[in-house]
Amino acid sequence: MNVIGEVLLRSVTSVPKVVSLWRRFPIGSVALRTRYGAWSRAQYAYGTFHAAQQAKLLGLDGISVIEFGVDRATACSPSRAERAKSLIISASESRS
């Protein structure tokens, strides 16, 4: 991106509600949206984006992303939580 575009975008995104509007209408590259926090969970997007970039530089085919500490009320249904719990238990038992 050129210098004028960068300055303009920085000025526009400093206006209240512009980034939240950008989150609702995702326009632009993943890198650009990550740089300006135009994701519903920008802190997760930042880390995941940079991990994927580093994996690409290292020549890896892919990455795995796991979210710990998911709130039961917002994350998933009880059946999914039980399924995840059973997978974790079976994985830890197989290591023993």
pLDDT tens digit sequence for 6-57: 888 888 888 888 888 888 888 888 888 888 888 888 888 898 999 999 999 9
- pLDDT tens column, 68-81: 766 655 555 566 66
Tell me the whole-structure pTM to 2 decimals: 0.60
CB-based burial, 23-56: b 16+ in 10 Å, e otherwise: eeeeeeeeeebbbbebbeeeeebeebbeeeeeee
